[in-house]
Amino acid sequence: MEYLLKNGIVFDPKNNIDGEQMDIFIKDGKIVENVSSDAKVLDVSGKLVMPGGVDLHSHIAGPKLSIGRLYRPEDIRRGIKPASQEDISGFEAGFSLPTCPTIGYRYTKMGYTTVTEAAVPPLEAKHAHEEINSIPNLDIPTLTLFGNNWFMLKYVKENRLDDLTYFISKWLKLAKGYGIKIVNPCGSEAWGWGKNVDGLDDPEPHWNVTGREVITALTKVNERLGLPHSVHVHTNDLGHPGNYTTTLETFDCIKDIKKNKNVERNQTMHCTHVQFHSYKGTSWRDVSSGATELIDYINKHNHLTCDIGQITFDETTTMTADAPMEYDLFRLTGLKWANKDIEVETSSGLIPSIYSKHAPVSVLQWAVGLEFFMGVTDPWKIALTTDSPNGGPFIRYPKIISWLMSQEKLQDMLNNEVHNWAVNRTNLGTYDREYTWNEIATITRASPAKILGLNDRGHLGMGAKADVSVYDIDVENFDPTLKNNSAILENKLLNSKYTIKDGEILVKDAKIVKLVKSNHIWCKVNGLEKEEEILTNRIKPEFNKYYTIKYENYGVNEHYIKPETCVDIEYGGVICENN
């Protein structure tokens, strides 16, 4: 099928197209130079055209979601939309924990085509991939949790970097994972002993290994293997006043590790939901923003990218492999709390979270997130996230965009809506930046795609994947800087005019018109087969001793991941020819 998207106003930061009126040609699922006269013409004159949205950190599939849905039926009852006969999509339900199909419907309607599931323990990977099979219309890479894995800890302790390399390479294949995720390294493992670690150099009680050692070892391995994405780090001490120093140390601890020369990304580390890691002070009474120091570091260094984890003032659900932190939240709020142990891989926890405009701490967190948006000068270093659903559900991205594009709106909130800690305890009030459409396209498309190392998307250059979103926004005449336009802007961005993925129209005029199966994106390293086999044979007895399942039943079989996009790389980072 061929399409001609006619006369749209195109924002494609990677190819330096900043609001030009132009045509986009689509053929066989790719962006092409030209199409035949048979092409179907879609007149999008004057409308906002961007590459399909890319979310590099969200929680959309796996046991955390299932636990959440089971223990928060009250959340499932929110956001119910009955199925209608005109719609090919089914009913929607859930707010912070939507049903699997609802996740697909809502992302697609927002113009997103790629969404990363950011935390999958290998033991639960089958579960995650099965849930992906119930989410329609997206491309979904999963990040595999390694930061508290016993085999990893053992290799780090014994300084066996080669074995760790083979282990990661093999375990990504078993979990059908795309990249390395590290969550509260050593802290989640310490939770198995009822403890946490305090900062980067506090050793985990059983293995006597520190977060610093884990992060540096895994970063070295990541660059050795040449994975398309860097290590994806949720640093220690999340949500603790005073944690910004730990975050700074983490930023700094890998700066001398050389980036693999074959990868396109700039960073050797991606720090996720940095907002939650940027507080000064010693308690929730004297807490204040530590964003300025961190922003300064990010602006001065190039080995690092981050996403924000913006707070959106909702009643949402926090879910993370950082189980001791969830226990802290439980002690703070007394709300119902779920805790799960994933054997020798990680722990995890959930708790409802209510962010209110009148609660000083929520407002501080909200303002810290916005400080990063305002303060990091290069939009290619950040990506828009809410750590969905931790800071707020992903359907709030358009709302965040409406804040970023209008100082009038933001100042109005600071002056009239939110608690005074936003002004008194952060530097948010000192910024007067307003995002342009080009910058919005960067932090929601181009930058996350580049950070992830998915170079076939996030832009509309020749040969790129034909993932395009068109919004019913008349770019020339619509002024996003006006406060009165914020609600309109949010609504238009929630309901795309067209969402096109792989050259197929999935949404037309805010209605889903086609449902396709989601793609499982994973990364396969070639060239270490022999080493992996030797290592696996050594691991097996230990594995069968410590796990409740047999090694033979552990990996995710091929039939779980249909359809798939396997990113094949040679050991060392060279992308294979057939890609």
Q: Is 64 in the site for other proteins (CB under 8 A)?
A: no
Burial class (CB in 10 A: 0-12, 13-18, 19+), 135: buried
Which amino acid belongs to residue 434? E
Cβ burial, residue 512 (10 Å; 0-12/13-18/19+): buried
Q: Does 55 bind Zn ion (CB under 5 A)?
A: no
Q: Which stretch binds Zn ion (CB under 5 A): 137-145, 158-166, 385-393, 555-563?
A: 385-393
CB of 72 to other proteins, least distance (A): 6
User: Does 117 interact with Zn ion (rule: CB under 5 A)?
Assistant: no
Q: What is the CA radius of gyration of the chain?
A: 22
Q: Where are the alpha helices (DSSP H) in 4-142?
A: 63-71, 73-76, 100-109, 125-132
Which does residue 71 touch among other proteins, Zn ion, none (CB within 5 to 8 A, set by kind)?
A: other proteins
Instruction: Decide whether 40 or 336 has the Cβ nearer to other proteins.
Output: 336
Cα gap 25→2, rounded to integer Å: 8
Structure tokens at 480: 């996003």
Give the nearer residue to other proteins in terms of CB position, either 42 or 93.
93
Q: Which stretch binds other proteins (CB under 8 A): 65-73, 255-263, 361-369, 442-450?
A: 65-73
- Rounded CA separation 111/505 (Å): 11
Residue of 189, 387, 439, 456 that binds Zn ion (CB under 5 A)? 387
Q: Which is nearer to Zn ion, 342 or 441 (CB)?
A: 342
Rank residues 163 and 387 by Cβ distance to Zn ion and give the closer one.
Answer: 387
Instruction: Write down the least CB distance from residue 389 to other proteins, Å.
Output: 16
Nearest to other proteins of 85, 477 (CB atom): 85
Q: Given the structure tokens 């034909």, which residue do they identify?
A: 466
**Least distance to other proteins, CB of residue 315, Å:** 10
Residue 308 and residue 275: Cα distance in Å, rounded? 6
Of 148, 127, 140, nearest to 63 by C-alpha is 127
Closest CA to 106 of 402, 493, 502, 457: 493
Q: From Zn ion, other proteins, none, which one binds at residue 387 (CB under 5 to 8 Å depending on kind)?
A: Zn ion
Residues 257 to 286 in contact with other proteins, rule: CB under 8 A: none
Q: If contact means CB under 5 to 8 A according to the sort of partner, which of Zn ion, other proteins, none does residue 43 touch? A: none
Q: Which is nearer to other proteins, 258 or 336 (CB)?
A: 336
88 binds other proteins (CB under 8 A): no
**Residues 483 and 7 sit within 8 Å (Cβ to Cβ):** no
Strands (DSSP E) contained in 83-178 are 112-120, 139-145
Among 14, 27, 57, 72, binds other proteins (CB under 8 A): 72
Between residues 235 and 317, which has the closer beta carbon with respect to other proteins?
317
CA distances from 463 to 276, 417, 467, 503, 574 (A): 38, 46, 11, 12, 19
Contact 217, 227 (CB under 8 A): no
Instruction: Map residue 525 onto helix, strand or coil.
Output: strand
Q: Which amino acid makes up residue 557?
A: N
Among other proteins, Zn ion, none, the one that 576 touches (CB under a kind-dependent 5 to 8 A) is none
Cβ proximity to Zn ion, 122 vs 480, nearer residue: 122
Total number of residues that touch Zn ion (CB under 5 A)? 2
CB nearer to other proteins: pick between 332 and 335: 335
Among 73, 463, 541, 563, binds other proteins (CB under 8 A): 73
What is the residue whose two structure tokens read 């990304």?
Answer: 265
State the pairing for strand pair 288-289/2-12. Answer: unpaired
Site for other proteins in 363-392 (CB under 8 A): none
Binding mask 329-358 for other proteins (x = CB under 8 A): ------xx----------------------
Residues that bind other proteins in the complex, under the rule CB under 8 A: 71-75, 77, 335-336
